[in-house]
Structure formats: C-alpha cells, structure tokens
Structure 1
Amino acid sequence: MSSEVVKFEVLCIDQNGKVEFSKEDKFISALAYNEQLWDGQPQKKDNYFLDEAKNVKWYIQQLDTTSLVSDLFSSAFILTVEGDLNSLEPLRLKLLNDLRKIGFNHLRILNDEVSKEIAVKIYPFLNEVENLLRRYVVKFFTTKIGLNWWDITVPNTVKDKAKIRIDNEETFTKSKIINANVELIDFNELGEIICQQKTAFGKIEDIIQRVNQASSLEELKSEIQGNYSKYFKDYFERQYFEKKWKRCFEIRNKVAHNYLFTQKDLDDTLELCKELKIIINNADEKIDKVVFNIAEKESIKIAIEVAEANQSKIHFNEINESKKENNFNGYSEEDHLQIYKSKTITEEEVIKHLKNTEEEYKKFVGLGFFVKNILASLGYAVNTSYTVINILADKGKIELYDVKNPKGDRPTKAIKLSESARE
C-alpha cells in the first residue's frame, strides 16, 4: 500500500459517565498506554499531539454538550488521526477497540480517508473484470444464438430495467447510436446470465420428459449434458465462478455506498479479479468449440417462441395505450395476434417448402433467401426458422454448404434436402 497522508476522524461520546477524564491531554495519555497505538510518549505541539516514531498526528476537539435538548452526555470529543496510509490502515480498528475500553459507548466515524483510498484502488479492478465479462457475454451469445439472444436468455425483470435505463443516458443509448442492453444491467445480473447457463433444461419436469423419451442411457446423457452445458460447467461452474463473482459484487456494493474498507478487501479484490479474468479468458478462447446438440436447439426454439409471444403482447399493449390517448377504443388482443404474430414453422413444413423451392430454383437455394424471402413471406418467424433448419441439419435431413457468391468474394451459405429426406 502506498504512503499517502490520510485522516481518520471519530466522534466519541460517553453517555454513562465511565470516561475518567475531561481534558484533551488526559485523553491522549489514556490512549498512549496502548503500545499498539503509540511508540513512545506523545509530544505536545501547538494544536495536536505527535507520535514521532510513527509520524502520526493526533488532534482532539472537546465538544460543548451543555445545551443539549433531548439527551445528556458526560463527555464528547472529536478525535482526528493523521498519518500515512500504511500506518493508519491497521491502526483504525485497534483505536476503536481501545476507545470502547476507555469508556466511550457511542462511536461514529466522521471521516475515513483510508477507506476512500482503498476504494479508489479497488474500483478499476472491478470495472475491468465487469467489462471483460460484458464483452464475453455479447460475443458468446451473439455468435452462438444470434442477435435475438437478449430476448431469449435474459429474465424479463432484467430486460425491463435495461429498457428504463436506456433513456437515462443521453449520448450513446437514448440516441440509439449503439445497440445497448447488457451495458445497462447491474454487476450481479451480469453474473447471473452466466450462472443460469448450467443446463439447457432448468425445470425438473423437462428432465423427466427427456428420461421418458430417451431410448438408451447414452442418448439420455447426450440429451441432458450437451456440449453447451458441459462448456459452462467446465469453464465456469467448476471454477467456482459464481462464488467469486458474488464476493466481488459485495465489495462493489461497498464501493458504491461508501462503506468502510480494510486492506483485506483490497487483497481479496486483486486476487478475485485475477482469478475471474483467467476464467473468462479461458472460456473466451474455447467459444468456437461450443456446439448445440439437438435437445438444446429445441430448447432455444421454444425460448424464441416464448420471447416472440411476449414481444407481441408488449406491442399490443403499447398500441392500445396510444389509441386510447386519441379516443380510440383499441382492438382485441386476439385481433392483434392475428395481425402481428409470425407462425412457428415445423420440421415437416421446412422440408415441404424447401422441396418446392428447389424445384423452382434449380442451381441452388441460398439459406438467407429461403428463410427471409420464401418462409417469411408465408408468415413464418425468421428466428425460429433458422433454429428448426439447424435441428434438421443435425438430424441429417438437410445439408448446409457454401457456394461461390456471384456478387462478391465471400461464399454464400446454401441449403438443400439430403437424400434421406427426399425418399
């Protein structure tokens, strides 16, 4: 710890008449008996007492309590200790304990520059690891689930909080110059996004259903413990990420609320942030190894359907509120869903429409063209269409492949039925 000069100030009150002195010099003499606080005898200066060995100054101000309206104190003092950070950090707790023994039963810390300096040192480390996890979350879910990851992986309460906070920041988020959501949630909520990924099946009834449907033990293991779930267990859960993140959250709250700090808080922060950075960076390096199994993709498909239904309901409520403000009675939710809700495509429908499209476009069928032009024009939701196509590819019923792009250097992703699906 560095050697900045800092102050520690305490209001000391004796309500019970146990303090045996009333003058400043007697106060210092009582403290000087404790060798943990003093090295040698106090030296009286103009307006303070000096511990020359430790280079610590002690200021004592006696308060006038004769005009109290609703209480009676035997004595009251403000004690201020000034010295370098290394000296004052361990001295504070020893001093408070000694003040209790002397007879002061009411102690309040008025100023603690030691805690301030420690908090200033702590925050950059917490800020760094928080931003590192935000970067990882955006990178992982965007590349593994898609741009709609926020809607299908984050609880509604967290999404609502982020939505409110968008308007609180004028420069970047309210102006819509950037896409922001995960940047607007709290430290603990950011960690919970990771902790919730332990398994693709969060409910016990989902697991029971998989047990009943599985044809063998190996199939069951593959269904419940997919590559995705194993990845989060290996790189986060087994590295005690949740416990470490929660401890950092506790320390961060202390920083935010100007709580008191000790050297241990700083030491814990440095060690925790070091370990968390290793955990996050190791997970980041292995993102490309994550592949969803069929069961996990089906779970994502269901999550997308739920998210789209929720968004449709929100849209309905917003429109009706707007209509009512203009003296229009609105319309029923059933009518709204009929107009706005996209259909969720089935595997059989994908195969049927792909077969028809292949008959029309003999050369090849582009994946994006098939989903956004063919299926979307028929009323099917884009996100769930991609998910169902990925599931069919895993089952070997369709093939995804690259073809030369006639309009650019990057290849075009194409789609076709497999031979087994044509039978």
Structure 2
Amino acid sequence: METDISVEYLFVSSLSDSLCVNVSGFKNLLKSIDGVEFKGNAINYKGNSYKIEVVSGAAEDGKSIYFDVTLTSSIDSLDDYTALLKHVRTVINKITQSPPQILWDGLGLYYSRLAYPQIYRIENLMRKLITKFMIINAGLGWHKQVVPREVEQSIKGQSNNDYLHNVDFIQLSVFLFKEYEGTSSKIILDKIRKAKEITELELTEIKTLSPQSNWDRYFAPLINCDADFLKIRWQQLYELRNAVAHKRSITKFDLARIERLINELEMKITEAISKLSDIFVPNEEREEIVDNVASTGDELIGIYLRKYNLLHEDLLRLLINNKLIEANDSSRFFLRHLLDIASKSGIITPNVRNQIQGMNMIKNELVHKARPDTSAFDLRGMISRMANLMASFNNIEQDFDLNNVSEPDLPF
C-alpha cells in the first residue's frame, strides 16, 4: 500500500485580481490559513510537513491564469491533511467564487481501497444467504427459472450457477425484502365478506392478507430483526458503494459509516445463514418464492405472473362459492384439478379451459425457462385475455366473448 497520498487541484484566476496573478501571490494567500508556514517546497500545518507543488501558466483567453496545485501527505497524518485541504479549497473558492477542479483525489482513493474489500465481503455474504435459501426451498436448479430477459446477454457464456453474481447490489435486497401477497389472499377476503360473526374468521388467516417479504415470512420468526432495519441499511450502503465503485470521493467519515453499516448487516445476515436449517417453507409457497424472484427481473413478466396468480385465485373462489371444492382442499393449488372440476360441472367451456391451460404453459415457461420464447406482444395479449376471463368469473352466467378484449392499463 502506498505511503504517500496526493490531491491535485486546478483553478483559474483572473489577471485583474492583483492578489493572485502568480505562484508567489497564491502562496501568500495560503499563509492566511491559521497555522500555515512555508519551508521550501513544503507547507507546515499543525506540526506536520506536506509537500506542495504549484504550477501556473497563462490561460488561452489571455485574461486569466491557471494554477495546478498538488499537496502530498504521508498516511500518518491524514486527519490534519484533510483539514488543510479544506482550508486550501476555501481560499481557492474565495479567489474564483467557485470550488477548484479535482484532477486527482488520492485521499478518496485511499479510503475507497479500504472500503472495497469490506463491501465485497458483505455483498457476497448476502449472495450466500439468498443462494442457500433458494436452493434449500426451491431446488438446486432454481437459478435456471429466474434469469430475466435484460441480463440474458450479459450472462451469455457464463454458468447459470453464477446468476446472483450478475444481479445488481441493490437488487439483492429485493430477493429478501420485496413484499408480495400469498396466492390465497382473494379467498380469505371473500371469506371475510361472507362472514356474519367474527368467530367465523381466524386471526392467522387475516394476517396473511398483509403483503409480506420473504424475510418477514421465514426469517423474522427466528431472528430478532425487523426487515426495515436491514433494508434501510442496505440502501444506505448501496449509495456509499456507488461512490466507491464509480470513483467518487469518499471521506474518512464515509468509511466509518460503511464499516458501521457492514458490521450491523453482517451480524444479522450471518445469524440468518445459521438459521436456514430451521426454516420451513410449505410446498404451496415454494412456487410463490420462485415467482416473486422471477418478477423482479422483468417488469412485463412480473405483471403476467401476478395476473396469472389472480386468475388462479378467482377460479378457485368460483369453485368454492359453487360448493364444488372445499376452501382447505389440499388440491386447491393444482390448476389441472381445478380445471377438471370446472369443466365437468359446466362452469367453464372447453374453449376457456384450453385458454387457461395455455396461460399456465406460458407461466411455466416464464418461470422455469432461462430464455422464454413468448414475445412481449404475446404476453400483453395474454394479460388482456386474463383480465377478460377474471371479469367473466364475476358473472359466470354471461357468455365469454374473448374476441372483444379491452386492453387493461399496463405500465409500459
């Protein structure tokens, strides 16, 4: 690691300013800083000596002069060096009425180099948690089910086992903290609407109506940590990480914030990893987890999957309302079984059954295939047809006119 740190500034001063028309004039202005003394090519400040280089020259307009100023410090006196730099910038700002151009920020680079390994470590610790959680609860090949379209080219030629290494830092938190509804929410709402006594309802069912994240569903019962505690800190760390990654200046204060955030996150993420074997995800919720992950990658796919799940719920509710299936029937999550009941009872026509089966095939393709074949145009059409079917379920006696489809409001 380097033993010396340099910062280089460039500014332009008008020749009409008699106080700063040459190097000597500029140095005299620096002497106005309390505690500053010059000794040869060094500037003494608070008992420390810093090398200073000032180069000047005429600007092209002939009316001004530029100054290229470099200050160098050893890493042993960076706090005082930081204070000196601030004073120098203040002097320059008074001369030009604007801050100097920073040509080289060795101080920010020094702190960035200290921060990067720590950010790298926490980022990969989060990837470890998510990967292990998904493999345990969604299967070894879960990564093949969720590759979004916009990253297909970026991961071309790479192993899908490295999927999470292609996911942006901030998107990692979406896997754990994005809230979503369970597939049975509409059924429970229908039950609430029909209830005449509070005793007909169960508190645990009512609580499931509130959208929950994977953290709230599976980790919070085992770990004393609110999702917002982690989500807010991950967002704050993301902003600081961007400063490091994009070569923006960070300070000693920023480094301290990074270290504090990482320590707080690392403690909880490590605890979450240790609790993975204690987490139980019911079979009917495992598909929801994969759907939720898939929907974070492609907005249109996310809309399709959410609309499909609502269609599934509406069909189930239709059968329950007609006393064709019990609300707690273990087969209620299997679409083929629901379609068999609906078609045999005459609730839906063979044509509608075929359409829903086709929608299910597209849903499986989107979730389980790395590069879906269905075009965006076809997805929009299917979303429209699903909206039409759901409207028809609310009035099952009417004829299904799927050739007269009004486009729902879609955010694209």
Between the aligned partners of 1:82 and 1:216, the Cα distance in structure 2 is 72
Find the aligned partners of 1:49 and 1:211 in 2 and give their Cα distance. 79
**Equivalent position of 2:398 in the other structure:** none
Q: Which residue of 2 aligns with 1:183?
A: 165
Partner of 1:410: none
1:76 aligns to 2:61 (yes or no):
no
Deviations 1:306-330 (A, max 9, x none): 99xx7xx9xxxxxxxxxxxxxxxxx
In the other structure, the counterpart of 1:129 is 122
Q: Distance in 2 between matches of 1:96 and 1:231?
A: 52
Mapping of 1:249-288 within 5 angstroms?
249-288=238-277
* TM superposition shift of 1:13: 1.3
- What is the CA–CA distance in structure 2 between the aligned matches of 1:161 and 1:112, rounded to whole Å? 35
Task: Give 1:140's aligned residue.
Answer: 133
Tell me which of 188, 195, 208 is aligned to 1:223. Answer: 208
Deviation at 1:132, TM superposition (A): 0.5
User: Which residue is equivalent to 2:148?
Assistant: 159
Larger deviation: 285-294 or 140-149?
285-294
Shift of 1:188: 1.0
Match of 1:58 in 2: 52
Question: What is the aligned partner in structure 2 of residue 11 from structure 1?
Answer: 10
- Closer, same or farther: CA 148–237 of 1 in aligned 2, 3 Å: farther
The equivalences for 1:340-379 within 5 A come to: 344-346=335-337
* 8 Å Cα contact 2:218-2:281 kept in structure 1: no
Residue 113 (1) aligns with residue 106 (2): yes
Report how many residues are paired: 300
Range with greater deviation from structure 2 (253-262 or 228-237): 228-237
When normalised by structure 1's length, the TM-score is 0.60
| Per-residue CA distance 1:181-239 (angstroms, 9 max, x = gap) | 1111111111222211x454499968745754884132424634799634344656446
**Aligned-pair distance for 1:89?**
2.9
Secondary structure of the residue aligned to 1:79 is strand
Distance 2:27 2:134 in 1: 62
The answer (yes or no) to whether the contact 2:142–2:290 under 8 Å persists in 1 is no
Q: Which residue of 2 is the match for residue 340 of structure 1? A: none
- Which residue does 2:325 correspond to in 1? none
Residues 277/19 of structure 1: CA separation in 2 closer, same or farther (3 Å cut)? farther
The residue number in structure 1 matching 2:176 is: 194
Q: 1:74 to 1:207 in 2, by over 3 A?
A: farther
Whichever of the two has the greater Rg, that structure is 1
Cα distance in 1 for partners of 2:177, 2:287 equals: 21
Report the secondary structure of 2:208's partner residue: helix
Matched, 1:89 2:82: yes
- The amino acid across from 2:259 in the alignment is L
Superposed displacement of residue 295, structure 1 = 7.0
Alignment-derived partner of residue 309 in structure 2: none
Alignment of 1:26-65 (within 5 A): 26-35=25-34, 38=36, 41-44=37-40, 48-51=41-44, 53-65=47-59
Partner amino acid for 1:231? Answer: Y
Q: Deviations over 1:16-44 (max 9, x none)?
A: 844623221221121111116x2xx2112
Matches within 5 A, 1:302-317: none
Match of 1:326 in 2: none
Provide the rounded CA distance (Å) in 2 between the counterparts of 1:301 and 1:98: 58
Aligned-pair CA distance for 1:291: 2.3
- 8 Å CA contact 1:200–1:296 kept in 2: the answer is no
* 92 and 28 in structure 1: CA distance in 2 versus 1, 3 angstrom threshold: same
Deviations 1:259-304 (A, max 9, x none): 1111111101111111111111111122233223587468459779
Distance 1:211 1:13 in 2: 72
Q: Secondary structure at the match of 1:181?
A: helix
Distance of 1:22 and 1:302 partners within structure 2: 67
Larger deviation, residues 228-237 vs 279-288: 228-237
Q: Distance in 1 between matches of 2:58 and 2:293?
A: 69
CA gap of 1:13–1:19, structure 2 versus 1, over 3 A, is farther
Matches within 5 A, 1:388-407: none
How far 1:146 sits from its partner (Å)? 2.2
Structure 1: which 5+ runs fail to align? 168-173, 314-342, 350-379, 385-423
Higher relative contact order (CA 8 A, sep 6+): 2
- For 2:115 and 2:152, locate their aligned partners in 1 and report how far apart those are by CA, in whole Å: 29
The alpha-carbon distance between structure 1 residues 27 and 298, as it changes in their structure 2 partners (threshold 3 A), is closer
Cα contact 1:10–1:107 (8 A) shared by 2: yes
Deviations 1:48-67 (A, max 9, x none): 243273110111111222x4
Instruction: Please tell me whether the aligned partners of residues 163 and 181 of structure 1 are also in contact (alpha carbons under 8 angstroms).
Output: no
Amino acid at match of 1:142: I
Other structure's SS at 1:80 match: strand
C-alpha change, 1:221 and 1:128, in structure 2 (3 Å) is same
Unaligned runs of 5+ in 2: 305-333, 341-359, 365-412
The two structures, once aligned, show a CA RMSD in angstroms of 4.1
Q: What amino acid is the match of 2:10? A: L
- 8 Å Cα contact 1:134-1:190 kept in structure 2: yes
